[in-house]
Amino acid sequence: MIRIIVADDHTLVRAGLHRILAGSDDLDVVGEASNGAEAMALLHATPCDVLMLDLSMPGRSGVDLIAQVKAEYPKVAILVLTMHGEEQYAVRALKAGAAGYLTKESAPAELVIAVRKVSGGGVYLSPAMAEKIAQDLTSARIDGPLYRRLSDREFDVFLMLARGLTLGEIAERLCVSAKTVSTYKARVLQKLQLGNQTELVHYAIRHELLRDNP
């Protein structure tokens, strides 16, 4: 029996995932969490094999949470299930220690396959995501584009700004102050050598970072 903890801040999403996983005799959802702190508490109290994790829960960066889970519970396989279809999110998640990456548009059958694959020690990416990553690596220059120099949180802020979210909206999503978001914005513009948010949007479009809107 594969024991699973589902971590997602949307109650309906967790309920839907629970129903999908309950349809397989070898899968057992042993706990649910709505944020990173709850996920860590569950891992401490409830043995599990797979942590199914949303990257966009309130609070700390999802990539930071992946790194913490792998440091404290190295035997737990992490399967990211997220709305983010950009390959850069997948690359960052895998580097942090995730064993699989799926978008929420994936079919239920693919989700079950992915859980079984990562629980057995494998790595799972949808064919479309694997192709995106391969193309990105193939087309990248030796030094790589400037956006790769952004930290995980800076990259999150960068994409939200590019999608037109205000500083206040970003602050609410990340559970930080608008002033903190403003600081991140300044760092992003500096690292990408851009003068303003309009240039930032054009940069994101030029590098095809908005191909999949979450």
What pLDDT does 70 receive? 93
Identify the weakest region by mean pLDDT among 43-52, 83-92, 150-159, 202-211.
83-92
The domain boundary, picked from 79, 113, 135, lies at: 135
Residue 213 resides in a domain: no
Give the model confidence (pLDDT) of 113-127 as tens digits.
Answer: 999 999 999 999 988
Query: What are the E-state strand segments in 12-131?
Result: 27-33, 50-53, 77-82, 100-103, 124-125
Residue 37, token pair as written in the block:
């702190």
Mean pLDDT, residues 166-193: 90
**Are both 118 and 153 inside the same structural domain?**
no
87 and 161 inside one domain: no
Q: What is the pLDDT of residue 137?
A: 62
Strands (E), 77-195: 77-82, 100-103, 124-125
152, 115: one domain: no
Domain extent at residue 167: 146-206
Q: Which residue has the higher pLDDT, 170 or 138?
A: 170
Burial of 11 (0-12, 13-18, 19+ CB in 10 A): exposed
